[in-house]
Structures are given as C-alpha cells and as structure tokens.
Amino acid sequence: MNSMSLYQPRQSLIHRIDPISKIFYILAAVAVPFILPTVTVAVICLLVSAVILLLAKVFRKVIPLVGFSMVILLSVVVIQGLFMAENKIPLFRLGPLIFYQEGLSFALGLSLRVLNIISAFAILVLTTKPSDLIESLVRKGLSPKIGYVLSSVLQIIPQMTATMGTIMDAQRSRGMETEGKLAVRLKAFFPLIGPVVMNSLINTRERAMALEVRGFNSPVPKTFLNQEFKSAYSKIIQWTLILIIIMALVWRILGWLK
C-alpha cells in the first residue's frame, strides 16, 4: 500500500477503469437510491458496490470503515425507532421501550443509503491513484488549485498516520510507554499532538514553496507528463450510468403521475 494515500495496488478489472468513469458510478450509486427511496433499491445498489469491491480485491479494506459507521448508524436506528414524529405502529417492545415500524423503516433506508455512499466512494479511493484522479479532473477543466486541495485531502489521513507512527517509534526509543492500559495510552497520546501538528504545518509550507518554484501559479497553459488514462469502455460505462439515472427519474415521475 502507498503510504501517502489509501490507494491499494491490485491487478483487477476495476483498477483498469479510468477515474472519470468511477466518478460517474458514484453519482449513479448516490442518486438512484435518493430518486427511488425504497429499501429494495438501496439494497441492490449496496450489493452492486460490494460486488465491485470484491472484484477489485479491496473489500476487506472497507470493513473497518463500515464497522465504524455502523456504530453511528445504530444510534440513528434507536433514535428514529423510538422518537420519530411519524411513529404510530408499534413493532416490538424491549423492556420499557417501544420500537415503531415507521421509525425503523426510515432508519433502515437511511442506513443503507449511507453505507452505499461509503462503498461507492471506497471504490474510487481504494482503486485509483490520487495523482491519476486529480490529473483526469484537471484535464476536464478543473482548476489546478482545486485539484491540489483535493489531492491534499486524499493524502492527509495516511500522512498523519505515518507521521504518528514515526513519532511513536521515536518516543519508544527514548523509553516512553505507549502501549498497555487506557491511562497509559492517553498519557502517551497527548505528547503526540504537538509534533504531528507542527510536522503537518511544516509539510504544508514546504509543499507551497515547491509548487511556487515549479510555476504552479503561472498563467501559461500547463502540459501533462503522462498520457491521458482511459479504459477501453469508458464511454460505454459513463453513458450506461447516465441512462440508469434517467430511467430512475422516469420511473419516479411515472410513479407521481399514477
């Protein structure tokens, strides 16, 4: 794994698809469940994303993120199941608490859509090099400055994780205890904050200087070192996804007209 990004290098069909097509997939995967807000549609979209992650051989990398999200979504299920204003039909009782059908149904649909969004973005982030993604967007007309901001966002978590690992190794070599009980870990955590923040600020300053030296703000049109990355079926994939969104809209409009 590249220490500077979440990208997972694999030999898979999904990795060979261009970044723009993956962005189109995100748009379709997010839009369709909102256009057709049913549990069935949300489950289908989530299953499609899961299959793509399996084909890309990165499914295991999504599990920790999904597990963390489930903790938050569980609280949504509990709150909506108990206290949603539209609750009328009791579904089951848990001690003194009554969970209602309307709240649980709404929370289930919301949770599935959130998990689907996470999975769709994971496909892009885990199977696409940040440099390829930003270069493709800049070729399509995105401002290089915005591209740099996006690149920094994609890299900030891995960079800070790597920096924290380096600082913790340095502290261990000096005899500081960083493992053991919760109190010991908390005691070791606070001395990390200062060096990590300072290191991030220094890296930001060094990057700004490096970009300025390379003429980042120059008004002269930029050229690209690499050839444009396109997969053989880019247009077919993109138009198919657009067609799926249009079909979902038509289905929803026909439903309103009935």
Over residues 181-199, the pLDDT tens digits come to: 666 666 666 667 777 777 7
| 33 in a structural domain | yes
- Co-location of 120 and 141 in the same domain: no
Q: Which CA distances in Å does 237 have to 19, 34, 139, 245?
A: 12, 21, 19, 13
Length of the chain counted residue by residue:
258
| 226 in a structural domain | no
pLDDT band at 245 (very low <50, low <70, confident <90, very high): very high
- Co-location of 50 and 121 in the same domain: yes
What is the model's pTM?
A: 0.74
- Which two three-digit tokens encode residue 210? 């490096």
| 1 in a structural domain | no
pLDDT band at 206 (very low <50, low <70, confident <90, very high): confident
Could you give the CA distance from residue 204 to residue 185 in angstroms, rounded to a whole number?
28
217 has pLDDT over 70: no
For residue 221, count other CB atoms closer than 10 A to its CB.
5
pLDDT band at 120 (very low <50, low <70, confident <90, very high): very high
- Which two three-digit tokens encode residue 56? 């890309």
Residue 143 lies in domain: 135-213
- Co-location of 28 and 124 in the same domain: yes
**CA 229, chain centre distance (Å):** 22
- Co-location of 45 and 120 in the same domain: yes
- Co-location of 236 and 200 in the same domain: no
Could you report the per-residue pLDDT of 127-175, keeping only the tens digit for each?
A: 988 877 887 877 877 777 777 667 666 666 667 777 777 777 777 776 7
